[in-house]
Amino acid sequence: MPREFARQPRSLAELYKWKATEFRQFVLYTGPIVLKPVVSNKLYYHFLTLTVAMSIYLDLIKETRSPYCNYAKELMLYFVKTSTDVYGNPFVTYNFHNLIHLGNGVENFQTSLNDISAFRFENYFHKMKKKVRNAQNPIAQLIKRIHEIEKSGTSSTTKQRSFFVSTKKKAGCYLLANYSYAFGKERYPGRKYVCDVVKKQYLESLFLQPCDSKLINIVLAKDMRRHKTQITLDHKDFKRKVICLPYQGGHVLMPMLHGIEKRK
């Protein structure tokens, strides 16, 4: 996985040790690849309904998210309702049922699920704990520490980069505004990059159910030599980082749906 990820994939044998970011990584990125050859079609396509729905909800671009939001809600409802048939009644808990309502928040606030999720605050929790000195009145202590930091003028707000730009083979793939895929080859001064660009129409789909994977910009790249065009791009032309994972002699390309994960 590229450097934006705080953790590299771990074996399912260590599932009990997984953190929240690792479960997200599995649902959005590694799961659709590693599960395809090892589980039945029924289990695989059921899992993909969750992957596709979450990918739509997490899309940062309104023009490509909003038209498919209702479709994502239908997929999520199907995923929850049929989970008892696939995994049994104990699988469906109250928290699991709440997946049905995620789409309402995305529609009501007209934004990506990333922007209304509390996920980003999970990494800050350990910093909050360090500001509490004893068990008495923890909230009051926390508020006092925050006021002290604000008065000292040491706190600052900076815009966090959403991804790193690289020309390395496995970390230098990007999605452009026209949904072509750019592979960084060489960096020039002024943040210019020589790239091999391939249009999505020349790439294969990873799956066709519950929809064509190209709908969420997941494609399978094999022999691209005939379709590559080399051009020079500015770093601003890179709209999203693309994860490039090996699969059956080629590579699966899937856009990254979150920003840089902080390491604790």
Q: Which has the higher per-residue pLDDT, 254 or 91? A: 254
Is residue 216 one of the residues assigned to a domain?
yes
**Amino acid identity, residue 62?**
K
21 lies in the same domain as 95:
yes
Question: The tokens of 226 are what?
Answer: 């005939």
pTM, two decimals, is: 0.83
Place of tokens 């020349």: 202
In the numeric block, which tokens belong to residue 236? Answer: 């601003």
Range 34-62 average pLDDT: 94
Above 50 in pLDDT, residue 160? no
Domain membership of residue 37 (yes or no) is yes
Q: What is the pLDDT of residue 154?
A: 55
The continuous run of DSSP H or E covering 84 comes out as: helix 69-87
pLDDT at 10 over 80: yes
Instruction: Assess whether pLDDT exceeds 80 at residue 38.
Output: yes
Do residues 49 and 114 both lie within one domain? yes
Q: What is the pLDDT of residue 217?
A: 95
pLDDT of residue 42: 94
Residue 210: is the preceding peptide bond cis (ω within 30°)? Answer: yes
Are residue 101 and residue 28 in the same domain, yes or no? yes
Q: Sign of dihedral through CA atoms 240, 245, 247, 251?
A: positive
Same domain for 22 and 110, yes or no, is yes
Instruction: Give the range with max mean pLDDT: 124-128, 207-211, 226-230, 257-261.
Output: 207-211
Q: Which pair of structure tokens corresponds to residue 217? A: 């910009």
Which one has a higher pLDDT value, 187 or 48?
48
Which domain does 239 fall in, by range?
A: 173-255
Structural domain contains residue 192: yes
132 within a domain of the structure (yes/no): no
User: How far is CA 52 from each of CA 59, 150, 242, 244, rounded to the nearest angstrom?
Assistant: 11, 42, 16, 18
- Any domain includes 6: no
Task: Kindly state whether residues 94 and 193 are assigned to the same domain.
Answer: no
Single residue among 87, 119, 151 that ends a domain in this structure: 119
CA atoms of 115 and 109, how far apart (whole Å) = 9
Q: Is residue 245 part of a domain?
A: yes
Residue 35 lies in a domain: yes
- Judgement on whether residues 22 and 103 belong to the same structural domain of the protein: yes
Q: At which of 119, 153, 184 does a domain end?
A: 119
How far apart are alpha carbons 162 and 148 in whole angstroms? 30
Q: How many domains does the chain have?
A: 2
Cβ atoms of 185 and 195 within 8 Å: the answer is: yes
User: Whose CA is closest to 242, among 12, 18, 4?
Assistant: 4
Per-residue pLDDT at 255 exceeds 60: yes
The more confident residue out of 119 and 219 is: 219
Q: What is the pLDDT of residue 158?
A: 39
Listed residues 80, 101, 119: the one ending a domain: 119
